Amino acid sequence: MNVHDLIRELKEPADTKIVLLVADGLGGLPMEPGGKTELESARTPNLDACAREGACGLSMPVLPGITPGSGPGHLGLFGYDPLQFRIGRGILEALGINFHVGPKDVAARGNFCTVDGQGLITDRRAGRPATERCVAMCRKLQEIRLEGVQVFVEPVREHRFVVVFRGENLGEAVNDTDPQQTGLHALEAAGRDGPSQNTARAANRFIAEAARLLKSEAPTNMVTLRGFARHPNIETMQEVYGLKPVALAVYPMYKGLARLVGMEVVDAGSTLTDQVETLRKLWNQYDFFFLHFKYTDSTGEDGNFAAKVEMIERLDNEIPKIRALGPDVLIVTGDHSTPSKLRSHSWHTVPTLLLAKTCRPDPVTEFGESYCLKGGLGQIPAMHLMTLALAHAGRLGKYGA
Amino acid sequence: MNVHDLIRELKEPADTKIVLLVADGLGGLPMEPGGKTELESARTPNLDACAREGACGLSMPVLPGITPGSGPGHLGLFGYDPLQFRIGRGILEALGINFHVGPKDVAARGNFCTVDGQGLITDRRAGRPATERCVAMCRKLQEIRLEGVQVFVEPVREHRFVVVFRGENLGEAVNDTDPQQTGLHALEAAGRDGPSQNTARAANRFIAEAARLLKSEAPTNMVTLRGFARHPNIETMQEVYGLKPVALAVYPMYKGLARLVGMEVVDAGSTLTDQVETLRKLWNQYDFFFLHFKYTDSTGEDGNFAAKVEMIERLDNEIPKIRALGPDVLIVTGDHSTPSKLRSHSWHTVPTLLLAKTCRPDPVTEFGESYCLKGGLGQIPAMHLMTLALAHAGRLGKYGA
């Protein structure tokens, strides 16, 4: 029996509220032997107070040694087995811009890139154009018509856009056309099976048309497509948990992930302060609140230890406002680690705290990786945090007589 | 999705090296309440330094409470689910003497034993004869010819040998003929299904012929067979991990286990010092090195606490030479515990350390069971150590977008 089947059977209604605050890429590493991690270095009196009052631990996004992308990282935190549910990048990007992907659709992430006279890629991101330019270029691409397949082109930001192919019998097993390095031609799309060959044919025709339309638009004079994906068949948080969930995220991908599991997605402004203010305004309308804070990850990916520390302190600063609302359960964690030292996502476990009146005390007095090692939650698969949240929120009945 | 499928998908090439040092039966128990384990009693400055610089934990060979044999213990350490892959003892023994078991073969482990005038077993190991005698007796058994089934007899050492039956339609579901105690007749072999009945028939004819040929050779005047097994269909470490692995082991069974998962097996001498010297010589030719140290287990099985402590200290002594080679990942662990107090393998978790530049610090300052309890690796299924090794060696890409 999988966990969702069990929860579906045990869930009970309750007038309680759960806040899941995800500091993207929260976990870290010291820069030098004997040093502290970003979180341990940050001054976090409010998170430390939560750690003292609640239970701490380390969450494992997927499996030991496995580094998750944002998709699996968040699905785990939403309580979905990230090895069971796999979400292609095209779908995430499409959901993130509020594009309603349907059952006949295959979505792909597009990148504007720069090619030279021989068609060799000289910049895979076209010099990161302004979003306005991205919008203008997408408008050109929207003129493209393909036989038998409808095509939608929507800008995301900078060099990024979404293409959705809609038609009968389109598969998703299509390779990325981005060769992943400069000095090469973009790859042909090819399908691994009949339906995916239909998609690949449409993609190749689309790319040829795009090359023609963008010919004189250098640096945005070519496109690559990747992450071809159909909408996955995934149960919603309402169905499984009986919750009315809302997402307060700024970046498209996290909105997309939230929408995928049935969360409502609202405009939450552009800063964490805005998000917390939105949380306050919507407090009575929902019972599950997902707040996503991006900058702990992006500073980690930049390798900027000091900036990541500062972002954590900024996060800490918002905690009292969240606590003032009186959530029954507050979880603070990350979807994965992004150590500044590694400048990338990593497989390391993620410091996690759960604050509720029903927590059993543990010896953790500060929020940080080494403190969390001694925490009452232990080292726990991320997908079980949601079950713990429901339990502490009085939303799960007894299993068996 | 199983872990091997995931790793196969995520593996990336890298110019990094992994050393897996297995101290067989490493985990122990105190002899008296309040005492220390063998590992805690040993003076291990070099392992302690690794523990301080790396991450420690306790590995669980199979499941809580399950005591593994050497087969499952090692398969777990090689990253193979020991509940999915089951390896019969006959196969292990055959692989260990470099006998190339084929698809029509069933291998069994043979023991010379002593029987009295009534055919009752008086010594199940025939007084542990010298290996020379084992060789001579096997030469006699090599004369045996069976109808429709080819038979191979190869000495191992002391009372132990290998028999391989080769023929059409031979099964492996055959009972051991060793009654496991003296004063009894050897058991008849019987097959649980048609093909296994073919094997049992051949085995009984073989044993009858052996009894005839050895009649006047007391104490080696009879044989028992056990662990009937066919070659399992198992993926190699090259296929799954993209590694080029080599085994530096002394004892046949561990060479056999290594060969089973696709490791090259080289002559590594007869002492740990020889093995480490071989490691140094082969350093540039492989990227995964399995070193097996037997004597922590055999001293534990002898119930000799002091000798096990000494063996651990001897192991510690070799650590600087291994570190001097600059492995990207060094794991020191055991395939199971063998507490001197119990004089046998046990189900207790196994002290484990992983040393790499990408380890998150943990509070462990000495290598030992009670220290490892506070380690950053936590209590982890042994089969995940290989995934962690690959991650720390920069050999795994990100899972999902």
Residues in chain A with CB shorter than 8 Å from the CB of B377 are 64
Residue-level length of chain A: 401
Which pLDDT score is estimated for B188? Answer: 97
Taking 3-state DSSP, the helix, strand and coil percentages for chain A, each rounded to the nearest 5, stand at: 35, 20, 45
Residue in A37, A66, A348 closest to B399 by CB? A66
Minimum distance, in Å, between the CA of residue B387 and any CA atom of chain A: 5
Counting as low any pLDDT under 50, the low residues of chain A are none
Contacts with B240 from chain A: Cβ below 8 Å: none
Does A62 lie at the interface with B, CB-CB under 8 angstroms?
yes
For residue B306, the surrounding DSSP H or E stretch is helix B305-324
Closest by Cα among B41, B25, B84 to B383: B84
Under an 8 A CB cutoff, do B399 and A87 touch?
no
**Dist. CA B160–CA B181, nearest whole Å:** 17
Contact B10 A92 (CB under 8 A): no
pLDDT of residue B264: 95
- Shortest distance between the Cα of B378 and any Cα of chain A, in A, equals 7
Triad A51, A46, A38: Cα angle to 5°: 80
| Chain B residues touching residue A89 (CB < 8 angstroms) | 401
Q: Name the minimum distance, in Å, from the CA of A216 to any CA of chain B.
A: 32
Distance from CA of B388 to the nearest CA of A (A): 4
Residues 353 through 382 of chain B touching chain A, CB cutoff 8 Å = 358, 360-363, 374, 376-378, 380
Contact A86/B at CB under 8 A: yes
Question: Cβ B401–A71 below 8 Å, yes or no?
Answer: yes
**Residues from chain B contacting residue A66 (CB–CB below 8 Å):** 6, 10, 387, 391, 396, 399
Question: Torsion-angle region of residue B327: left (phi > 0), alpha (psi -120 to 50) or beta?
Answer: beta
What is the spatial distance between Cα B23 and Cα B27, in angstroms, rounded to a whole number?
9
Cross-chain residue pair B374–A373, CB shorter than 8 Å? yes
Which of A69, A342, A369 shows the shortest C-beta gap to B401?
A69
Backbone angles phi, psi at B157, to 5 degrees: -165, 155
Instruction: State phi, psi for A292 to the nearest 5 degrees.
Output: -110, 125
Q: With an 8 Å Cβ cutoff, are B378 and A374 in contact?
A: no
Alpha helices, H only, B179-304: 194-214, 237-241, 252-260, 272-282, 295-301
Min Cα distance A383 → chain B (Å) is 16
Is the Cβ–Cβ distance between B353 and B327 less than 8 Å? Answer: no
Res A261: pLDDT? 94
- At residue B246, what are phi and psi to the nearest 5 degrees? -135, 145
For A227, name the nearest residue in chain B, comparing CA atoms only. B401
Question: For position B88, what pLDDT does the model report?
Answer: 85
Confidence of residue B194 (pLDDT cuts 50, 70, 90): very high
Instruction: Please report how many Cα atoms fall inside a 13 Å half-sphere around the Cα of residue A308, on the Cβ side.
Output: 33
Size of interface A-B (CB pairs under 8 A): 86
Strands B288-293 and B245-248: what pairing? parallel
Q: What is the bridge-based pairing of β-strands B160-166 and B288-293? A: unpaired
Residue A327 to residues A286, A310, A355, B270, Cα–Cα distance (Å): 12, 26, 9, 65
Least confident of A251-260, B32-41, B350-359: A251-260
Ramachandran assignment for B127, one of left (phi > 0), alpha (psi -120 to 50 degrees), beta (any other):
left
Here the tokens at position A169 are 């019998």
Is it the case that residue B1 has pLDDT exceeding 80?
Answer: no
CB contact under 8 A, A72 and B399: yes
Residue B43 has a CB neighbour count (10 Å cut-off) of 12
B14 interfaces chain A, CB cutoff of 8 Å:
no
∠ Cα B57 B59 B62 (to 5°): 165
CB contact under 8 A, B6 and A63: yes
Which ipTM was obtained for this model? 0.88
Say whether B401 and A92 touch across the interface (CB within 8 A). yes
Minimal Cα distance from B392: which residue of A? Answer: A65
pLDDT at residue A97 in the model: 86
| Residue A18 at interface with chain B, using a CB cutoff of 8 Å | no
Q: What is the pLDDT of residues A294-303, one digit of tens each?
A: 999 999 999 9
Using alpha carbons, select from B224, B126, B125, B127 the residue that is nearest to residue B179: B224
Q: Provide, as residue numbers in chain B, all residues whose Cβ is less than 8 Å from the Cβ of A30.
A: 361
Global confidence as pTM: 0.89
Compute the nearest-CA separation of B82 from chain A (Å): 17
> Is 80 exceeded by the pLDDT of residue B390?
yes
Q: Is the pLDDT of residue B385 over 90?
A: yes
- Residue B322 distance to chain A (closest CA, Å): 21
- Which amino acid belongs to residue B198? N
Q: For A259-272, how does the pLDDT look when each residue is reduced to its tens digit (9 = 90+)?
A: 889 999 999 999 99
Beta-carbon separation of B396 and A347 below 8 A: yes
- State the amino acid at position A17 in one-letter form: K
CA distances from A266 to A162, A270, B181, B196 (A): 21, 12, 75, 66
Instruction: Say if residue B272's pLDDT is above 80.
Output: yes
If you average pLDDT over residues B340-348, what whole number do you get? Answer: 97
Task: Check CB contact of B6 with chain A, cutoff 8 Å.
Answer: yes
Mind listing the pLDDT tens digit for each residue in B116-166? 999 999 999 999 999 999 999 999 999 999 999 999 999 998 999 999 999
Interface test with B, best of A58, A66, A352 (most B CBs within 10 A): A66
B202 pLDDT higher than 90: yes
